Amino acid sequence: MISVLDFLVPAAYFIAAVMFIYGLKAMSSPVTARSGMIWSGVAMAVAILVTFVHPEVKGNYALMVIAIVIGGAGAWVTARRVAMTDMPQMIALYNGMGGGAAAAIAGVELLKRGSGEVQMDTVTVVLAVLGGIIGAVAFSGSLIAFAKLQGWLKKSWRFSGQQVINLGVFIATLALGVFLIIGEASPTVLLAFFGLALVVGVLMTVPIGGADMPVVISLYNALTGLAVGFEGYVLQNPAMMIAGIVVGAAGSLLTQLMARSMNRSLGNVLFAGFGKADEDGPGLEVSGEMRSIDATDASIQLAYAEKVVIVPGYGLAVAQAQHKIWELVELLQSRGVKVSFAIHPVAGRMPGHMNVLLAEAGVPYDLIFDLEDINAQFPTTDVALVIGANDVVNPAARKDTSSPIYGMPILDVDKARNCIVVKRGQGTGFSGIENLLFFEDNTRMLYGDAQKVAQALIAGIKSLG
Amino acid sequence: MEGWVALYIFMLAAFTGIEIIARVPAILHTPLMSGSNFIHGIVLVGAMVILGMATTTAEIVVGFIAVFLAAGNVVGGYVVTDRMLEMFKSSGQKKEE
């Protein structure tokens, strides 16, 4: 019996690892993405079920089932209920839980080593400690990211000497880690080690503004993968090693892609506050004034346009306006207007965030274009309708060398014949950078909540007959 | 497992991860991040082994927390990703419905 399980369990883990990689691969195309997720889901189910008969598992089955049911049911309910606009923080939350689990595994293994219950060679103990730090940082960091995006934590704490303190805490954590590896690992040292690692995650994340959160969540996702991979080695579990490192590598690359599309390095996101360039000089003089337009005039412009490009941003997500916007687009299409959507790589709070929201409203993905594909279209566009987007359409990125966003690729809506900007108020946006677009001659401001504005535009177009 | 074998596994897995994500359109970045978030939920398997081997109170408590957290990672990661992917349809697919 035992010998059958000795073969069956590793074989099941092997098959699970193959299916994870296949599933992730299938997820890289919109056509096969769902089937990829099903493959990964089956792989996970197989791996979990077979673990109940894992040769090393000796008891606590009831506790295991209870923990799975509580954790699983809680996540099921929250994940089902959450609005699509709040997805980014939920990913952060579930990711943090994974990081916490990896750290807890490291904790138990190091505890056992400390009491002499298990012997570890140097490689194992080093990976256990590393996975512990990384997992704990991903755990507390993700929770802070969640709290920030959820609006529970509004401030970005910054004070002078912050980086010195952060570095100090980080070095202290590493020092305790080294002590755990070479010295006696008493429960007290372990507690201090994990406590400090959690503090590192918190300190790292509190100064980072909401606009940068997607990059940070992606980074913590990669870190959790890494921690899982390392703990997989400690437990001699190749499925954990492979799945963890695949996610760690893929996540790192994704994080870099995201940072690059904001024209910033990862180090800059993590260690520099946004808007710092403001102090360097007065910047480009803003000339002209903002001109507003009312919904009636705007609907006439849209209704008689040949080609309209819609640029959605976070404002659309906040106002939950995606359904109304699609209604507006369908109305325009029925009048023969050619409408497409232009999505900046970092529009919203995550890359692809806008795509998901538009997909939710039922917008077919072949109407949605990336920055590289649509930018050449703007000079022949009659109306560019910007809805709640700001920095990603700011021409300062092309013109103002002193601007913090200088060099960031933007959507060239200012090159369209007319540009209508739907915006809640007159202030600067998330990053606090003045938007030159709003002062252009061909730009009109349409103030109001995106959903209400869309409603007014629909009514306006319908009244034209 | 020998350290060198592990290093080879890590190296190959890292290249696999990079290969998979290198040519992905931006439209799928969020679902893919969410999907990979689900996949590192495999940590649940390790958490179950830890709890299954636990003998002292401290080990059981921490093991229980690990299983609880990992189960949240697995289920939450799956449901969120599935809800996102559910929405991706091309205009062709829509007309068929």
Dump pLDDT digits (tens) for A184-211.
Answer: 778 899 999 999 999 999 999 988 876 6
B10 and chain A in contact, CB less than 8 A: yes
Both tokens of residue A439? 């002062």
Name the residue among A27, A51, A351 with its Cβ closest to that of B26: A351
| DSSP character at residue B2 | -
> From residue A164, how far is each of A169, A205, A256 by CA, in Å?
9, 15, 25
What pLDDT is recorded for position A63?
Answer: 95
The stretch A3-12 carries a mean pLDDT of 86
Instruction: Please report the residues numbered 361 through 390 in chain A whose beta carbons come closer than 8 angstroms to any beta carbon of chain B.
Output: 362, 364-368, 370
Of A233, A253, A352, the CB nearest to B28: A352
- Contact present, A311 and A384 (Cβ < 8 Å): yes
Say what the pLDDT of residue B68 is. 97
From the candidates A6, A212, A297, A391, give the one annotated as an active-site residue.
A391
For residues A417-422, average pLDDT = 92
- Taking alpha carbons only, the member of A151, A153, A142 closest to residue A93 is A142
CATH number, span A295-463: 3.40.50.1220
Choice among A95-99, A280-284, A323-327 with the minimum mean pLDDT: A280-284
- pLDDT higher than 50, residue A280: no
A281 — pLDDT class (breaks 50, 70, 90): very low
Best CA proximity match to A247, nearest among A270, A266, A215, A223: A223
Question: Cβ of A221 under 8 Å from any chain B Cβ?
Answer: yes
pLDDT for residue B92 is more than 70: no
pTM of the model: 0.81
Q: Do B45 and A240 touch (CB under 8 A)?
A: yes
pLDDT in tens, A50-77: 999 998 898 889 999 999 999 999 999 9
Say whether residue A429 is in contact with chain B using an 8 A CB cutoff.
no
Mean pLDDT on B27-56? 91
Question: What percentage of residues in chain A have a pLDDT greater than 70?
Answer: 92
Q: How far apart are CA A12 and CA A183, in angstroms?
A: 38
ipTM of the complex: 0.91
Residue A10 vs residue A365, higher pLDDT: A10
Contacts of A246 in chain B (CB under 8 A): 13-14, 16-17, 20, 36, 39
The reported pLDDT for the residue numbered A166 is 87
Nearest to B40 among A187, A244, A253 (CB): A244
- Show residues of chain B in contact with A243, CB under 8 Å: 39-40, 42
Question: Which of B39, B40, B48, B42 has the alpha carbon at shortest distance from B67?
Answer: B48
Give the pLDDT confidence of A133-191 residue by residue, as tens digits.
Answer: 999 999 999 999 999 888 887 766 777 777 888 899 999 999 999 999 988 778 899 99
Give percent of chain A with pLDDT exceeding 90: 50
Place of tokens 């991040």: B33
Between the alpha carbon of residue A154 and those of residues A142, A206, A208, A319, B69, the distances in Å are 15, 10, 11, 19, 26
3-state secondary structure chain A: CHHHHHHHHHHHHHHHHHHHHHHHHHCCCCCCHHHHHHHHHHHHHHHHHHHCCCCCCCCCHHHHHHHHHHHHHHHHHHHHHCCHHHHHHHHHHHHHHHHHHHHHHHHHHHHHHHCCCCCCCHHHHHHHHHHHHHHHHHHHHHHHHHHHHHCCCCCCCCCCCHHHHHHHHHHHHHHHHHHHHHCCCCHHHHHHHHHHHHHHHHHHHCCCCHHHHHHHHHHHHHHHHHHHHHHHHHCCCHHHHHHHHHHHHHHHHHHHHHHHHCCCCHHHHHHCCCCHHHHHCCCCCCCCCCCECCHHHHHHHHHCCCEEEEEECHHHHHCCCHHHHHHHHHHHHHCCCEEEEEECCCCCCCCCHHHHHHHHHCCCHHHEEEHHHHHHHHHHCCEEEEECCCHHHCCHHHHCCCCCCCCCCCCCHHHCCEEEEEECCCCCCCCCCCCHHHHCCCEEEEECCHHHHHHHHHHHHHHCC
Judged against a pLDDT cut of 70, whether residue B93 lies above it is answered with no
- Per the DSSP assignment, residues forming a β-bridge with A383 are A308, A418
A391 flagged as catalytic: yes
Q: Are B27 and A366 in contact (CB under 8 A)?
A: no
Report pLDDT for B89.
59
Amino acid A307: pLDDT: 93
The reply to whether B16 touches chain A by the CB within 8 Å rule is yes
What does the pLDDT read at residue B95? Answer: 39
Q: What is the mean pLDDT of residues A101-125?
A: 91
Task: Judge residue A157's burial from the number of C-beta atoms within 10 Å of its C-beta, 0-12 exposed, 13-18 middle, 19 or more buried.
Answer: exposed
Please give the residue that has the higher pLDDT: either A317 or A448: A448
Predicted local confidence at residue A275, as pLDDT = 38
Name the token pair of A161.
């000497």
- If one compares A303 and A161, the residue with the highest pLDDT of the two is A303
Residue A175 in contact with partner chain B when CB distance is under 8 A: no
Which residue type is seen at A34?
R
